[in-house]
Amino acid sequence: MIRSALTVAYTIVLMVVLAVAWLIYTVFRREEDTTEAPILPEVQGHKWDAYKHHHGHAAHAEAEAEPEPTPAPVEPDDLKRIEGIGPKMEQVLHAAGITTFAELAARTPEELQAILDAAGVRRITSPETWAEQAKLAAEGRWDELEALQASLKGGRRV
Protein backbone atom coordinates (compact mmCIF):
# COMPACT_ATOMS: atom_id res chain seq x y z
CA MET A 1 0.00 0.00 0.00
CA ILE A 2 2.84 2.39 0.79
CA ARG A 3 4.46 1.41 -2.44
CA SER A 4 1.39 2.33 -4.50
CA ALA A 5 1.05 5.63 -2.61
CA LEU A 6 4.68 6.49 -3.48
CA THR A 7 4.04 5.63 -7.10
CA VAL A 8 1.02 7.95 -7.16
CA ALA A 9 3.04 10.72 -5.44
CA TYR A 10 5.91 10.36 -7.92
CA THR A 11 3.44 10.44 -10.82
CA ILE A 12 1.82 13.63 -9.47
CA VAL A 13 5.24 15.29 -8.96
CA LEU A 14 6.29 14.28 -12.47
CA MET A 15 3.07 15.73 -13.95
CA VAL A 16 3.56 19.01 -12.03
CA VAL A 17 7.17 19.27 -13.23
CA LEU A 18 6.08 18.63 -16.82
CA ALA A 19 3.29 21.23 -16.52
CA VAL A 20 5.73 23.85 -15.18
CA ALA A 21 8.25 23.05 -17.93
CA TRP A 22 5.54 23.35 -20.59
CA LEU A 23 4.38 26.67 -19.11
CA ILE A 24 7.92 28.07 -19.11
CA TYR A 25 8.47 26.87 -22.68
CA THR A 26 5.28 28.53 -23.97
CA VAL A 27 6.00 31.81 -22.19
CA PHE A 28 9.50 32.06 -23.63
CA ARG A 29 8.34 30.83 -27.03
CA ARG A 30 5.80 33.67 -27.22
CA GLU A 31 8.50 36.24 -26.45
CA GLU A 32 10.60 34.86 -29.31
CA ASP A 33 7.77 34.74 -31.86
CA THR A 34 7.00 38.42 -32.28
CA THR A 35 5.55 40.09 -35.33
CA GLU A 36 8.15 42.84 -35.16
CA ALA A 37 11.16 42.69 -37.41
CA PRO A 38 14.25 41.43 -35.65
CA ILE A 39 16.88 44.08 -35.14
CA LEU A 40 19.89 42.08 -36.19
CA PRO A 41 22.50 43.28 -38.63
CA GLU A 42 22.86 39.85 -40.17
CA VAL A 43 19.14 39.65 -41.07
CA GLN A 44 19.23 41.73 -44.21
CA GLY A 45 18.47 41.39 -47.88
CA HIS A 46 17.37 37.95 -48.92
CA LYS A 47 17.67 36.62 -45.37
CA TRP A 48 15.12 39.18 -44.22
CA ASP A 49 12.83 38.27 -47.13
CA ALA A 50 13.04 34.62 -46.16
CA TYR A 51 12.33 35.50 -42.54
CA LYS A 52 9.26 37.55 -43.51
CA HIS A 53 7.97 34.77 -45.74
CA HIS A 54 8.51 32.13 -43.06
CA HIS A 55 6.85 34.21 -40.35
CA GLY A 56 3.92 35.42 -42.43
CA HIS A 57 5.19 38.91 -43.19
CA ALA A 58 4.94 38.53 -46.96
CA ALA A 59 2.10 41.06 -47.13
CA HIS A 60 4.25 43.60 -45.31
CA ALA A 61 7.13 43.07 -47.74
CA GLU A 62 5.19 44.64 -50.60
CA ALA A 63 4.15 47.62 -48.46
CA GLU A 64 7.74 48.43 -47.54
CA ALA A 65 9.10 51.33 -49.55
CA GLU A 66 12.57 51.53 -50.93
CA PRO A 67 14.84 53.63 -48.73
CA GLU A 68 15.04 57.23 -49.88
CA PRO A 69 18.32 58.12 -51.53
CA THR A 70 20.57 60.30 -49.47
CA PRO A 71 20.53 63.86 -50.72
CA ALA A 72 23.56 65.01 -52.65
CA PRO A 73 25.93 67.10 -50.60
CA VAL A 74 25.30 70.82 -50.89
CA GLU A 75 27.93 72.69 -52.84
CA PRO A 76 29.59 75.30 -50.63
CA ASP A 77 28.99 78.90 -51.59
CA ASP A 78 31.80 81.38 -52.10
CA LEU A 79 31.49 83.12 -48.74
CA LYS A 80 34.19 85.57 -49.81
CA ARG A 81 31.47 87.38 -51.79
CA ILE A 82 30.30 88.75 -48.43
CA GLU A 83 31.92 92.09 -47.55
CA GLY A 84 34.33 91.50 -44.66
CA ILE A 85 34.97 87.80 -45.35
CA GLY A 86 38.30 86.91 -46.85
CA PRO A 87 40.00 83.54 -47.38
CA LYS A 88 40.98 83.16 -43.70
CA MET A 89 37.49 84.04 -42.46
CA GLU A 90 36.00 81.63 -44.97
CA GLN A 91 38.23 78.83 -43.64
CA VAL A 92 37.15 79.62 -40.06
CA LEU A 93 33.48 79.55 -41.06
CA HIS A 94 33.92 76.28 -42.97
CA ALA A 95 35.59 74.75 -39.92
CA ALA A 96 32.53 75.81 -37.89
CA GLY A 97 30.25 74.05 -40.39
CA ILE A 98 29.05 77.18 -42.20
CA THR A 99 29.52 76.60 -45.92
CA THR A 100 26.49 78.21 -47.58
CA PHE A 101 24.91 81.64 -47.65
CA ALA A 102 21.74 80.19 -46.07
CA GLU A 103 23.72 78.77 -43.14
CA LEU A 104 25.49 82.09 -42.67
CA ALA A 105 22.19 84.00 -42.86
CA ALA A 106 20.76 81.82 -40.07
CA ARG A 107 23.43 82.98 -37.59
CA THR A 108 23.31 86.03 -35.37
CA PRO A 109 26.23 88.49 -35.25
CA GLU A 110 26.90 87.31 -31.68
CA GLU A 111 27.17 83.67 -32.80
CA LEU A 112 29.48 84.62 -35.63
CA GLN A 113 31.65 86.70 -33.31
CA ALA A 114 31.86 83.76 -30.89
CA ILE A 115 33.06 81.55 -33.76
CA LEU A 116 35.72 84.11 -34.68
CA ASP A 117 36.79 84.50 -31.04
CA ALA A 118 37.03 80.72 -30.58
CA ALA A 119 39.25 80.54 -33.67
CA GLY A 120 41.48 83.31 -32.32
CA VAL A 121 40.76 85.68 -35.20
CA ARG A 122 41.69 89.29 -34.48
CA ARG A 123 38.97 91.88 -34.87
CA ILE A 124 39.98 93.24 -38.24
CA THR A 125 36.44 92.80 -39.49
CA SER A 126 32.95 92.81 -38.02
CA PRO A 127 30.32 90.13 -38.58
CA GLU A 128 27.45 92.53 -37.81
CA THR A 129 26.17 92.60 -41.44
CA TRP A 130 27.26 89.14 -42.62
CA ALA A 131 23.89 87.49 -41.97
CA GLU A 132 22.05 90.31 -43.74
CA GLN A 133 24.37 90.09 -46.75
CA ALA A 134 24.19 86.29 -46.79
CA LYS A 135 20.38 86.38 -46.81
CA LEU A 136 20.40 88.58 -49.91
CA ALA A 137 22.95 86.28 -51.57
CA ALA A 138 21.00 83.13 -50.65
CA GLU A 139 17.87 84.64 -52.19
CA GLY A 140 19.79 85.65 -55.34
CA ARG A 141 19.18 89.36 -54.80
CA TRP A 142 22.60 90.36 -56.11
CA ASP A 143 21.75 93.96 -57.04
CA GLU A 144 20.53 94.67 -53.51
CA LEU A 145 23.62 92.96 -52.11
CA GLU A 146 25.91 95.16 -54.22
CA ALA A 147 24.02 98.29 -53.08
CA LEU A 148 24.39 97.25 -49.46
CA GLN A 149 28.07 96.39 -49.88
CA ALA A 150 28.72 99.83 -51.41
CA SER A 151 27.80 101.34 -48.05
CA LEU A 152 30.03 98.96 -46.03
CA LYS A 153 33.69 98.87 -45.17
CA GLY A 154 35.10 95.64 -43.72
CA GLY A 155 31.56 94.42 -43.10
CA ARG A 156 30.68 97.52 -41.07
CA ARG A 157 28.24 100.26 -42.00
CA VAL A 158 30.04 103.55 -42.70
Q: Where along the chain do its domains lie?
A: 2-63, 79-157
Contacts of 92 (CB under 8 A, 6+ apart): 115, 116, 119, 121
pLDDT of residue 49: 63
Contact predicate 36/55, CB 8 Å? no
- CA 35 – CA 37 distance, rounded (Å): 7
Could you tell me which of 1, 9, 57 has the C-alpha nearest to residue 33? 57
pLDDT of residue 8: 86
pTM above 0.85?
A: no
Q: In a structure prediction context, what are the per-residue pLDDT tens digits for the chain, which is 158 residues long?
A: 777 888 888 899 889 998 888 888 877 776 554 555 445 555 455 555 666 666 555 454 455 556 777 776 778 999 999 998 989 999 999 999 999 999 999 999 999 989 988 888 876 778 899 999 999 999 999 999 999 999 888 777 87
pLDDT of residue 63: 52
Single-letter amino acid code for the residue at 51: Y
